[in-house]
Amino acid sequence: MGSASSSYRVIYLDVDGRIQKVVFSRFCSPCDIKELFCTALGVPRNTNLSLLDSSGAMVSIDPTMPHNTERSPYRVVPMTGGQLADKEELFQNVLTQVAEQFSRAFKINELKTEVTNRLAMLEKRVELEGMKVVEIEKCRNDIKKLREEMASRNNSNFLEDNKKLTPRRDVPSYPKMLSCLEHMYHDLGLVKDFNINPITLKRWLLCIHDNYKNNPFHNFRHCFCVTQMMYSMICLCSLQEKFTQVDVLILMTAAVCHDLDHPGFNNTYQINARTELAVRYNDISPLENHHCAVAFQIFSQPDCNIFSNFDPEAFKQIRQGTITLILATDMARHGEILDSFKQKVDSFDYTDEEHVTCLKMVLIKCCDISNEVRPMEVAEPWVDCLLEEYFMQSDREKAEGLPVAPFMDREKVTKPTAQIGFIKFVLIPMFETVMKLFPQIEEAMVQPLRESRDRYEELKQIDDAMNEVQKKKSENLTIGGKKK
């Protein structure tokens, strides 16, 4: 009993003269605690807060913050832009210096002004013309030309190999990702073919972004990567020549929504810990069912319903198709789904609805776990993010006395051991099966997986050799100690 109670912290807050009690696990991240405080204060969860003790001193918002009592509550103050300015000054100075370097090299300021003005004019035209399809199509083509113009002026290989910039994973460019997702829907013809209101599409994507949590791995960046890979497979495999546009719409929308409101702890934890989600969905794919529920709660808002022009029967088809694909991302069903696809692939029939649905399920599974298809400098940081999320879960499972999977235990797993088995026995067999239907993915997707497998096997050999040397050193020291 003692160990269980010590896993939780109790903090008292002064909220407009009212004492608010907040209880949280000592394994919570600072972001989780800050969101609790925002809820207690009744402000948006991304609001920056300042925590003050009874003497007016600032207190760090994290699991180790000093304990207080009802008589000495902390005061929570939302921070204004002016208060944040000092903290951001150093970061802004660095950004300014980088921007100046780029501007001198590529005259980006002039280009930026030109592009900004032209894009502003195009967006105004879309709104003033009432989102007419012809006008939107013309604007989209103009925007595409602008992007090509920027790409031609901006050589991506301008840095020497030893001076490459590595973006930090915790400073994502969300507006750019949202813009790219929006472009994918336009480029695939979905906005035009289904008369989707472009402004509603923007609002929906913003709402989607706000409903992904800031987990190390299962966050909005992951949503973007999965959807971008789906877009790439649709284009590379010429799926629009084989699927209906409704199928393409389902594939893209399921990819966008597939991990909505993911809590950062997998189904095994939900079931073993008997969480509310596990109870609600009877231990059957609790997370995936939750992602579906959140997705259609968003669609139920008129301002975010990109399907508002569909008749009830068509919407029912979209809803069922999207749910089927999101539920297919539960890795507990991996063997079942892949075996079913293997039975169909040699005599695949695009006129058979069951065959097409099975292929769509495999496609979203490929996209969901496709990081190792990407270049090493992109893929490897995602392994770090995933392991960080795994370790957070295993630490909590140990504290709560729950079973811990070896591949999540920070004391047992290494990056090579984590990836070798997954690439060899999950990724490569699945992508090679898809390759039977679409040989064009071998060079772009299957070969990178094989190279990644080989690289991690080499890393494991190095690790094993170093461990063996260390073991012999320890044995020699032990023998030397005994002789003395």
14 annotated ligand-binding residue: no
Q: Of 419, 95, 431, nearest to 233 (Cα)? A: 431
Find out whether 304 and 431 touch, Cβ atoms under 8 Å: no
User: Which amino acid, 224?
Assistant: F
368 annotated ligand-binding residue: yes
Q: Long-range contacts of range 343-351, CB-CB < 8 Å, 24 or more positions apart? A: 345/433, 345/436, 345/437, 346/436, 348/437, 350/242, 350/243
262 annotated ligand-binding residue: no
Q: Of 11, 3, 4, nearest to 66 (Cα)? A: 11
**Distances in whole angstroms, Cα of residue 438 to Cα of each of 61, 344, 433, 449:** 51, 14, 9, 16
Q: Of 389, 468, 376, 390, nearest to 423 (Cα)? A: 376
What's the full length of the chain, in residues? 484
258 annotated ligand-binding residue: yes
315 annotated ligand-binding residue: no
For residue 255 the two structure tokens come to 């990819």
For residue 164, give the 3-state DSSP assignment: coil
259 annotated ligand-binding residue: yes
The catalytically annotated residue of 186, 209, 218, 291 is 218
For residue 25 the two structure tokens come to 């696990």
Question: Has 218 been annotated as catalytic?
Answer: yes
**Distances in whole angstroms, Cα of residue 362 to Cα of each of 204, 220, 230, 429, 455:** 26, 22, 11, 12, 26
222 annotated ligand-binding residue: yes
67 annotated ligand-binding residue: no
218 annotated ligand-binding residue: yes
Binding positions for Zn(2+) are 222, 258-259, 368
Residues serving a catalytic function are 218
Binding positions for AMP are 218-222, 259, 368, 419
